[in-house]
Amino acid sequence: MPETPECGTQLSQVADIAARFGCDGDIDELIKAIFEAIRNDGLVLIRNLPRDPATLLTLARKLGRLQPATSRAASATPGDLAYWIGNLDAHETERWWGELLPLHTAGANEPTEPKLHMMLMLDAGSGLPDADGNSGQSLFSRVDDAIEELGRVYPERAEEFLDALLHTAVTADYIPYLPPRPEPILRRSSAGGWTFRYWIDMQKYARRDGWSADELDALDAFDAALNAVRVQLPLHAGDLVVVDNHRVAHGRMPFPREQIDGSGHRTPSTRRVYNVHLEADI
Ligand SMILES: O=C(O)CCC(=O)C(=O)O
Ligand SMILES: [Fe+2]
């Protein structure tokens, strides 16, 4: 994955970050630089932001139009942070807490898929890495890289695979009360590039939807390629990642469920990531 701009400053701060981008403290120049990085690389990392939900929303509103958080509290209203920020109350959903979170794109089965997905690392947790060296490192994988990899590994079948993925619909379960959205995984963007939607357990859903053996081969090959080209990025508290959610999947490695302090006292991991979804024209 190409290098991404970084900022080593506090954000009261947006101006300081702008300076780091060589933008002379002009917020509009900063936003332009972020968009350019996302257009080029699909993602951008900004370091050392205040871990403050209001600041996150301020920056988000400069980048696009906020979409309500999927996991928001039912009682939240647009004046509440919980209406816009995901993972505000919970560390993780029960199922993925401490486990590998497979690669996925945000809103892959929702009526509106955000164009931009922002993740602010609030607290990276202080547990030691597990036996395999995992401590919740973030994972990112670009659809373009996966398709290139597919061509390398399956020079004979890549075209057939891409055709299946462009045309075979799959219904990814996510939110039971939303209408199902059976659609293919791969799409061609208007500019001629690739975009995609991807959800955890996609292979299971395709099987349930009755995909043929050849179509399942295509999906298995794509999933393997997506994972083969994924990049691990250990985020620190205050790191913000903005991804083009139509081009880049995200996930994370497992992490220890408990933190152990100097005297052997165990407490649940404090690891916590906020997320925000945006519509944006980039
Ligand atoms: O816990 C994480 O690092 C990522 C969680 C996630 O997928 C999200 O916030 O959208
Ligand atoms: Fe996610």
Q: Which atom of ligand 1 is nearest to the CA of 121?
A: 3
Q: Given this model, what pLDDT does residue 190 score?
A: 82
Q: How far apart are CA 19 and CA 59, in angstroms?
A: 16
pLDDT category at 143 given cuts 50, 70, 90 is very high
Q: Ligand 2 center to residue 274 CA distance, Å?
A: 10
Instruction: For strands 116-123 and 272-279, give the pairing.
Output: antiparallel
Q: Which pTM does this prediction carry?
A: 0.90
Sign of the four-CA dihedral 31, 193, 249, 70: positive
The whole-number average pLDDT for the span 20-48 is: 78
The answer, yes or no, to whether residue 2 has pLDDT greater than 50, is no
More confident residue, 217 or 92: 217
The answer, yes or no, to whether residue 249 has pLDDT greater than 90, is yes
The answer, yes or no, to whether residue 74 has pLDDT greater than 80, is no
What would the pLDDT profile of 202-246 be if each residue is shown by its tens digit? 999 999 999 999 999 999 999 999 999 999 988 999 889 999 999
Residue to mutate, 94, 122, 138, 273, ligand 1, most ligand atoms under 8 Å from C-beta:
273
What would the pLDDT profile of 36-72 be if each residue is shown by its tens digit? 888 888 888 888 788 888 888 988 999 999 999 876 7
The whole-number average pLDDT for the span 252-279 is: 90
Adjacent-strand bridge partners of 116: 244, 278
pLDDT exceeding 90 applies to what percent of the chain? Answer: 51
The answer, yes or no, to whether residue 11 has pLDDT greater than 90, is no
Cβ of 137 below 6 Å from ligand 1: no
Burial of residue 26, with CB atoms counted within 10 A of its CB: 0-12 exposed, 13-18 middle, 19 or more buried: middle
Strand arrangement of the beta sheet that strand 43-46 belongs to: 43-46, 240-244, 116-123, 272-279, 65-67
Cβ of 108 below 6 Å from ligand 1: no
What would the pLDDT profile of 170-207 be if each residue is shown by its tens digit? 998 877 778 888 999 999 988 888 999 999 999 999 99
The answer, yes or no, to whether residue 16 has pLDDT greater than 60, is no
Q: Given this model, what pLDDT does residue 95 score?
A: 78
